[in-house]
Structure 1
Amino acid sequence: MTLNHKDYSKLSAAEIVAQVKAGDISARDVTEAALARMALAEPHIHAYCHPAPDLARAMADAVDAKIAAGEDPGPLAGVPVGIKDLVATKDLPTVMGSKYYLGFMPEDDDISVARLRKAGAVILGKTNVPEFGYSGVGHNPVFETARNPWNLAMTPGGSSAGSAASVVAGVSPFAIASDGGGSIRIPASLSGLVGFKASMGRVPLWPGCRDPRFPGLSGWESLEHIGPVARTVKDAALMLSVISGPDMRDRHTIPQDFDWMEAYEEPLPRGLKIAFSEDFGFLAVDPEVRRLVREAAFAYAEAIGATLTEVDPGHRNPRDAFTALIMAESDLKGMRAMLSGHPEYMSPHLAAMISRDWTAEDFTNANMVRKEVVEAHWKLMSQYDLLISPTLAVPAFPVHMQGPEKIDGQMVSGFTWSGFCQPFNFTGQPAVSLPAGLTKEALPVGLQIVGPHLGDALVLRAARAFEEARPWAHLSAPLVDMLDLA
C-alpha cells in the first residue's frame, strides 16, 4: 500500500513495527512518507542539520529484504528515527553545532546508534543542537536555528532541539536525545512530548563523553544520559528496550534487571505516596506553569489512588555547582586551544565559560553541593515512592535567547528556568517529562515524575498511568495542522 505523509505522521513507532512485520506496509513506504514529511517541515523547523535520505532508503530496503527472506527484521523494523548531532554516527557527519568540527566523520557509531541499526530502525539524519550541547536551546554558529512547531518564533528547547522538533512535526515518531542537565526533558516540556531520562548507566555512552581525543565531545561524563523523546510513553519504552543494557566501554553502565516492555504493561500499584513540589523551595516559576502542573498532579493522584504531599527537597539551588561540574568534566585545555586558534568560531556564552579562571575550589565546592543534593533526594525518596514537579519553570520562549531574564516578576540568571532538571543529573535518578497541558498562548507545559535510585520500571508505569489519566494525543501543534493540509 502507499502511505501518505499525513497518515504516516499519526502512526506510533509501535504501530509502524506491527504493520511492517505483518506486511501491511513496507519499510520503504514508511521511509518515503517520512522523507516527504521532512521536506514539508524542514523549511519551517530546521530540525535536521544533516538529512540522510539515501542512507534511510538503504536501511529501509535492508529491512524489507530481511522480511522477504523470512528473517527477523528486529524490534524497531522500519521505524524512522532522528539522531541528535552530539551522538556519533560513522557514516554521517557529527558536527555538534560547532565550526571546529565541520566535516567531522566519526570512526564509530555511538553504542545507542549501533543498537538502533541492529534493531531495524531507519536513520533519517542528524538533528540540530546548540554548540556542543552547552545550552538549553537550539541555536548554534553553523546551522539554521531549530524552531518549535507550536510557535515558530519560540525555541523547541535544547540541547535536543532538532530531535524534539522532528517528533512534534510528525517527521519521526521518536528521536535520540541526550540529557546532561535536562536536555531530554527540556525539549519534551517545551514541545509537548514524552522525554525519558533513565537512571544513570541504563543506556551506555561511547564514544561521546568517553573518548579523550575530541574536545567538546568528551565532557559531561558523570552527568550525561541518552534516551528518547517520543509522542507516547509506549514508544519511549520501545526505544529504551533497544538502547539500554551494559557495555564495557562505559564504566557507568549497570545490568539490565527488568524488561522495559513488560514493565510498561504492568499495572501501577494503588496507594502510592507521592511527594510534590512546585518550586523546590528556591525557584521562581511562571504562574501558568504552577497552575497547570498543580492541577495535573492532584488530578493524577486522585485517578491512581495515590496520596500527594507537598514537600521541600531541602537542598540549595545547585545552579552554580552545575556549571562548575560541566567545566570540571570538560577538556578545558583542548577547548581553550580551539578557542585560541579560532575565537570567532565559538558562541559568546560558551567562550565565556571556557575562558573563566576556574579554580580547584570552584570544582571541589561543586562536588560538595552535588553530595548535598544526592543526600537530600535519597532521604526524600526514603519516605515517598515518587516525586512530581514541573519539568521547567517556564513555557517556551523566543529563539536566540539563552533563557528568560525574568520569571514571575523576579530577575533570574543562568540555568534558573531549567532548575527542576539538574538535580537529577547530579543524583542519576530516573525522570520523565510528560505533557501537562497548554498555556493560554497554546504553549506546552511539562510535568516531571522522578523515581528512586534505579526505579525506572516504577517511573515507566507511572508515566503510562499519567498518559491514561491525562491524555494528550488530541493536542496538535499549529504547524502539524498546516502540514496535514499539504
Structure 2
Amino acid sequence: MRTSQRDELCYLPATEIVARIGRRELSPVEVLDAALDRMREVEPTLHAFCTPTPDLARAQAIRLGDALARGQAPGQLAGVPMGIKDLLSTAGVRTTSGSWVYRDFVPEEDDIVVERSLAAGALCVGKTNTSEFGYSATGQNTLFPITRNPWNPALTPGGSSAGSAAAVAAGIVPVALGSDGGCSVRIPAALCGLVGFKPSMGRVPVYPGCRDERLPGVSGWESLEHIGPITRTVGDAALLLSVLAGPDPRDRHSIPCGDIDWIGAARAGEREGAVTGLRIGYSPDLGYLAVDPEVRGVIDRAVHEVLEQQLGCHVETVVPGWPDPAAAFSALIVADTDLTGMRRMIEEHGEHMSPHLVAWMREDWTAQHFTDANIVRKSVVNAMARLMSGIDVLVTPTSAVPAFPIGSHGPTEIDGRTVSDSAWIGFNYPANLTGQPAASIPAGWTGNGLPVGLQIIGRHLADATVLRLAAAIERVAPWSQHRPEGSDRGVG
C-alpha cells in the first residue's frame, strides 16, 4: 500500500470508515492493514500500546468481511480500528492496569464498553498504555516504556489514558476508549489535539472495572469514574457514544439514555445558528488556578472570536465560588479504593510499584479526612448547581499548561506561582465530583505548535448540549487538518 493511500485511510473519521465499508468501497482488512502498518511505523517512538493484538484484530476483520459478503448488515462501528485502555477488561487478552502486580492478568470477561464496541464491529488492535491504576495524569508506570506525545515525543501526551490519545493523534486508530476519574479522558485529549468526551455519570455503564472486589487497585474510583471516547472529530465521539451508552444492571449507577440522540446532537451543532444565543459562563481560572499565559491567550481568543463573534453565543465571565477541591479530591480517590488490599499489595510488591502511588496509599488517612472531603464535594455540587442555573454551559481551559517534558507528574511553577505538581489538571475535578458531562476539544495551538484544549461542561445530564456546542465550534474552527509530525521523526 502506498504511503499516501495508507495515510488517507489512517486519518479517515470512523463515520467515513463505516460508511465506505457499508457501501463496499473498503474492506475491513484494508482498513486494518493501514492501521497496523502505521502502528509498526510509529510505535517504536510512541509506545502507545502495551499489548498490541494484531492477530485478534485480523481475525475480527476477516469474520466481519465474511459476514458482510453474506449480506449481513454492518454494525455501527463496522471495521473501525480501536484502541482499548488497559484499565478496561478484555476477555482472553492481558489487562495489566499499568501495574507490575497484574502483569500476567488475563480477565475472563469484557468490560461492558468493550463488549458493546466489539459487538458493533470494532476491531481491537491492542490495549493502550496507562498510569498505574489510573493514579496519574501523565500515563507513566513501572511496567512498560513511557508513552510519548505525537506532537513532540519528548513531551507527555497526558494521562491516564495516555496510550489511547497517542494512538488516535498519531493516526493508528480513529477512536479509542478512555476512562476519566478526574481528568483522564480530557487531559490527554487536550495535550494531543483531540476530542475527549466524559459523559454524564451513569450514561455509560462501568463493569467489571471499579467493581470487582477481588482486585485491589482495579476496584477503585467507583464514585468518580466515567468511560468515554477519545477521537479526532466530534462526529466520531457521538458515534462511539451511541454504541457505549445505555443502562446495564451490572452497574448500579447506570441510567436510561432515551433522552439523548448522540449522533443527532452532533449533527444539529453543524447547522448554521445551532448555538446562537447559548448562554456561556467563561471561567479562565475558576478563581484559584494558575494558568500558563499562552494557554490563557489561546482560550481567550477561542471564547471571544469563535463563541461570541462567529457563533453568536452570549458569553459572561464567571467566578464559580467553590473552594479548590484538590485535597478533598485526593481523599475521595482513596476512600473509593480498597485501602486494605492496596496496602497489603504494597507490602508485598511495593518496590515494583509507582512511588507516588505507594506514598499516597501509605499516608495516615483517617475517617475525618474522608468525611471532610465529602463535605467539600457537596459544596462543589451545590455551587455548581447555583452557577448552572443561570448559564447553559461552563467553559474553561482543559489543562492549565501545554504538554511538558516526560518524566514528571506536572510543573511545580505556573505563571510565576509555585504550585503542586497536580495543579495543572485542576480544571477537570469539578465535573467528576458533580457527574456532569464535560468535553475537551482543540481551541488552538501555542506558538511552538502544541495543542491547547477548551473544556465544555454542561448542565446535569445535558450531554446533548455539550455535543452540539462542540460540533458548532468544529464547524467554524476545524482542527482535524492539523496532524502531528513528531511521531514520524523520533525522539529529539
- Structures share fold, TM-score greater than 0.5: yes
Separation in 1, partners of 2:74, 2:59: 14
Q: Is the 2:49–2:163 contact (alpha carbons within 8 Å) kept by the matching residues of 1?
A: yes
2:455 corresponds to 1:448:
yes
2:246 corresponds to 1:239:
no
Separation in 2, partners of 1:276, 1:180: 23
Which among 265, 268, 272 is matched to residue 266 of structure 1?
A: 268
TM-score of the two chains, using structure 2 as the length reference:
0.96
- The CA deviation string for residues 94-115 of structure 1, in whole angstroms up to 9 with x for no partner, is 0011110011001110000000
Runs (5+) with no aligned partner, structure 1: none
Separation in 1, partners of 2:128, 2:422: 23
Which among 445, 449, 473 is matched to residue 438 of structure 1?
A: 445
Partner of 1:307: 314
2:45 corresponds to 1:44:
yes
Using the TM superposition, give the Cα deviation of residue 481 of structure 1 relative to its aligned residue in structure 2, in angstroms: 6.2
- The CA deviation string for residues 211-254 of structure 1, in whole angstroms up to 9 with x for no partner, is 11111110000100001110000001111100110001111111
Partner of 1:175: 176
* Structure 1 runs, 4 residues or longer, greater than 3 Å off: 1-4, 480-483
1:378-417 alignment to 2 at 5 Å?
A: 378-417=385-424
Amino acid at match of 2:293: P
Separation in 2, partners of 1:158, 1:472: 21
Q: Is the 1:96–1:133 contact (alpha carbons within 8 Å) kept by the matching residues of 2?
A: yes
2:306 corresponds to 1:286:
no
TM-score of the two chains, using structure 1 as the length reference:
0.98
2:282 corresponds to 1:276:
yes
Of 27-36 and 296-305, the range deviating more from structure 2 = 296-305
- Equivalences, count: 483
Partner of 1:138: 139
Amino acid at match of 2:302: A
Partner of 1:124: 125
1:16-415 alignment to 2 at 5 Å?
A: 16-256=17-257, 257-267=259-269, 268-301=274-307, 302-415=309-422
Using the TM superposition, give the Cα deviation of residue 474 of structure 1 relative to its aligned residue in structure 2, in angstroms: 2.4
Amino acid at match of 1:51: P
- The CA deviation string for residues 92-143 of structure 1, in whole angstroms up to 9 with x for no partner, is 1000111100110011100000000100000000000011110000210000
Separation in 1, partners of 2:34, 2:385: 47
How much identity, in percent, do the aligned residues show?
55
Amino acid at match of 2:234: V
Amino acid at match of 1:253: S
Q: Is the 1:138–1:399 contact (alpha carbons within 8 Å) kept by the matching residues of 2?
A: no
Q: Is the 2:149–2:487 contact (alpha carbons within 8 Å) kept by the matching residues of 1?
A: no
Using the TM superposition, give the Cα deviation of residue 482 of structure 1 relative to its aligned residue in structure 2, in angstroms: 5.3
Separation in 2, partners of 1:476, 1:102: 33
Partner of 1:474: 481
Using the TM superposition, give the Cα deviation of residue 269 of structure 1 relative to its aligned residue in structure 2, in angstroms: 3.7
Q: Is the 1:170–1:480 contact (alpha carbons within 8 Å) kept by the matching residues of 2?
A: no
Separation in 2, partners of 1:35, 1:269: 39
SS of residue in 2 equivalent to 1:116: helix
Separation in 1, partners of 2:392, 2:349: 50
Amino acid at match of 2:250: R
Using the TM superposition, give the Cα deviation of residue 2 of structure 1 relative to its aligned residue in structure 2, in angstroms: 8.6
- Give the alignment's Cα RMSD to 1 decimal: 1.3
Using the TM superposition, give the Cα deviation of residue 265 of structure 1 relative to its aligned residue in structure 2, in angstroms: 1.7
Separation in 2, partners of 1:404, 1:478: 25
Separation in 2, partners of 1:414, 1:2: 44
- The CA deviation string for residues 267-315 of structure 1, in whole angstroms up to 9 with x for no partner, is 4242111100100000000000100001001112222211110000001
Runs (5+) with no aligned partner, structure 2: none
